[in-house]
Chain A
Amino acid sequence: MSRELFKFKGGVHPPGHKSESNSRPIHAAPLPKKLVIPLRQHIGNPAKPVVEVGERVKKGQLIGEADGYISCAVHASSSGTVTAIDMQTMPHASGLPDLCITIETDGRDEWIAHAPLDYRAMVPAELRMRLRDMGIAGLGGAVFPSAVKLDPGAAQACPTLIINGGECEPWITCDDVLMRHRADEILQGVTVMRHLLGSTEILVGIEDNKPEAVAAMQAAAAKMDFAVEVVAVPARYPGGGAKQMIETLTGKQVPSGKLSTDIGIQVFNVGTTYALARAVHHGEPLISRLVTVTGHVLRPQNFEVLIGTPMHTLITLAGDRDGTTGVLMGGPMMGVPMPDLEVPVVKATNCILVKSNELFPPLPRALPCIRCTRCADACPAELQPQELFRFAKAGDFGRAQEYHLFDCIECGCCSYVCPSHIPLVDYYRYAKGEIWAREKEKRAADLARERHEFRLFRLEREKKEKAEKLAAKAQAKRAELAADPSASGAPDADAKKALIAAALARAQAKKAEVAPKNVDHLTPEQQHSIEEIEARRAKIRELAHQPLESEEKP
């Protein structure tokens, strides 16, 4: 197999730390006493609860239904009783609470009746709705509802389907072990995806630091009745990013502001593909996933974890140690610090990384930027991070946008290589948050102004109408007096009505022609991050307004 590979620009080579956790077999984490299942685990509208407190639920039972097209259902991960539907702390950096359904498990782990789907007999749209209702969302990190991505849309077909087994973030190995041990089922999921997307070329991209996974997937691919090309790609962070994987395998770049399907390519993470196989071939909704528990623990490994399991139970299971300095969800490059360890494992939880001072020494103090452009060399979005930093720090958000701030994928490569140790990504998050907030404020102001203008217009109109009525009355009176039944003010009133209608139309047109902004046409991912960013804005703003630590006066 000698597929020509392409090089994406930038990227870094952080130490992989994969071997710590990828050699142990997959263990099923024991059933916890309590499951906390958030209704918003995916991008898009949160699910709507369909159970009540006190209700008994079975494993796999729908407890939150999808709300709209870009949404996803959530299910009870085990059998038990619903004890609360309330706000709970979420596994977010923000530590903001969100609506969750708490289930006290009964230990019986009793399944609801479920059966495989005869997907070939189903209408594609119906199959997609079923997948949405089975809670299938992207498990690679973005948690975008898969049903939406499985819709080829107007193009009718998406020629190239890429299964992403890149897993470029250090420490994380859940995709690695999934491919090693469950390659056949991953490819069964591919069968369904290919069916829905009409893809003719199937590529599986795996970073070459996972030779066992490559071998397992190649062996499984050989058994399929359609061609699946398993390709080992050079390990370089963020090579497992969808855009980077696309470029490595096809040489194509996704145009800025567009989707990969616009160039005929769709990408799914291997975990998502596996979840889809379980849904279609076994009728099981997405209620569990593989989670790497690694870092400063005694036995780093991967667990099969029920969604809603509190994180601390997994750390205990892997063997917690003294000297823990914090816990991340995700890897060290893009992971988010957890506000506390009661937070549940969600669909997005690929890794629980326990930090210690030895493994993750505190970052050194930042020095001023010396414009060395190592960040620009490392940026896979091919931006000029040193300029973005300058503009963000100066509060010059307009210039930052001109220099494509919103094309930043926050992969962290720039911060990683910065010899001045500047937390660059933080400045970009801050700048994005500020821009979103300002546009939101401007929007609110525009709306208020429009309302005010319409009120003035309405008052004016009412005054006019009153006057007209009076005039009409007077005229009618006069007509009556003149005893002439043919006279009428009607034509005049019609003209006035037309005038009013025209004015209304003008007001509406004005409302519609407000210039497009960054908060228009947001992808649901962005919408999601806006909310997160909003929460952190105040904190980050402090940082940006403070001088760099080293600039502080002694």
Chain B
Amino acid sequence: MPSPFILDRSSVTQVMAWVLAALLPGVLVYVWLFGPGILVTLSLATVTALAAEAAMLKARGYPAKPFLTDLSAIVTAWLLALSLPSLAPWWLIVTGTLFAIVVAKHLYGGLGQNIFNPAMVGYAVLIVSFPVQMTQWAGPLELTTAHLTLAQSASVIFGGDLPKTTLDAVTMATPLDALRTGLLQQHTVDEIMTQPIFGHYGGTGFEWLAAAFLLGGLVLWALRIISWHVPLAFLAGIWLTAGFLHFFDAGRFGAPWFHLFAPSVMLGAFFIATDPVSGATTPRGKLIFGLGAGFLTIAIRTWGGFPDGVAFAILLMNLCVPLIDQYTQPRIYGGASRTKEPPA
């Protein structure tokens, strides 16, 4: 065995464990403000992801242990679960997770080989295929008339009946949905923002969830698990694009702070766009990647067919990564930058 003969203590498992740990503040705030339903979603996605991972490893002839314990499948499961409506039916969760692990990850070659972020592929498939079921968001507890226990949430998710109450009493349109619907009904942003679902910056409850994801992201940054480039560029892309539109027509375009303080944005900025496998690798490339994803997020929210655009924005930027990397190679020690012309 040749040099070096020592390693520092890092491992893929350690990296993934920190990512999961950094998601915990968000999960806690989620439970606190929206009820315990998310725990059912997270658990179901985790079990499905591990089963799918194990099956695919076996089918592909890989040893199960080192790849199951790398925790990457659980990270995918959690990111998808946190992106889904918290009272989504079980089959939606299972379908999305299976698609993420089986198709987006393993059919592309497994850990390290996927071009697209698996969780976002799972999300995109679901929102395109089952748009109605993708609206079953539990409303913030302070606005809903009925609150579900953990057992009741599980019952809803697994298709059981709710005694004494209806699903409508616990679900609400998300702030982004409300904004979109309001704008389609020719209301101005100011009129729409008077609805109780809108809070200080973002949505009631949602803004705190966003803050919790931001906190977890800052922890990852402090631990050097992620670099500042992608999150900062992504948030800057959102803020600049939304701010530009808002500046020209505040009646038709939401304020930049509103767009920024959405949970999907913070989750996307710190946990999804920073996925190293499907993201850019060079410092300048990371900035371009983040800015592009931020711009596309607002563009899709504003002119696209879906209420939120983070998933599609990141997937589109995933596509550009090889090109971005190739054209942003940094200068090396004592040298000029890499020869400009693309290789034959």
Residues in chain A within 8 A of chain B (CB atoms): 8-9, 12, 14, 93, 170, 243, 253-258, 328, 330, 332-337, 355, 360, 363-365, 367-374, 376, 380-384, 386-387, 398-399, 402-404, 407, 410, 412, 415-421, 423, 425-426, 429, 536, 550-554
Contacts and interface: CB of A to CB of B under 8 A. Distances in A.
Interface stretch (B81-89, B93-101, B325-333): B325-333
B3 A333 contact: yes
Given A368-B112, A371-B276, A373-B281, A253 B333 contact: yes
A14 B335 contact: no
A93 B281 contact: no
A307 B30 CA distance: 70
A550 B343 contact: no
A419 B15 contact: yes
Contacts of A254: 334
Contacts of A12: 8
Contact of B333 (A360, A407, A419, A423): A407
Given A334-B3, A368-B110, A416 B333 contact: no
Contacts of A536: 2
Interface residues of B, number: 42
A337 B281 contact: no
B184 interface: no
Contacts of A403: 329, 338
Interface of A is mostly: loop
Contacts of B329: 384, 403
Contact of B66 (A355, A365, A415): A365
Nearest to A553: B61
Contacts of A399: 343
B151 interface: no
Contacts of B333: 8-9, 243, 253, 256, 380-383, 407
Contacts of B70: 367
Contact of B6 (A365, A404, A416, A554): A416
Given A256-B335, A372-B15, A386-B281, A550 B63 contact: yes
A333 B111 CA distance: 28
Interface string B303-332: 000000000000000000000010001111
Given A335-B5, A368-B112, A382 B276 contact: no
Given A398-B343, A419-B12, A368 B111 contact: yes
Nearest to B14: A419
Contacts of A368: 110-113
B2 A423 contact: yes
Contact of A336 (B2, B7, B62): B2
Contacts of B15: 370, 372, 419
B157 to A, nearest CB: 32
Contact of B5 (A258, A328, A551): A328
A123 B333 CA distance: 37
B5 A360 contact: yes
A156 B129 CA distance: 76
Contacts of A330: 3
Given A373-B276, A402-B338, A382 B330 contact: yes
Contact of A337 (B2, B6, B62, B277): B2
B186 interface: no
Contact of B10 (A170, A335, A369, A374): A374
A370 B110 CA distance: 10
Contacts of A258: 334
A540 to B, nearest CB: 8
Interface in B1-54: 1-8, 10-12, 14-15
Contact of B343 (A369, A374, A402): A402
B112 A370 contact: yes
Q: Which of B277, B332, B336 has the most CB of A within 10 A?
A: B332
A335 B1 CA distance: 11
B7 A415 contact: yes
A372 B332 contact: no
Contacts of B339: 402
A255 B335 CA distance: 6
A382 B110 CA distance: 29
B282 interface: yes
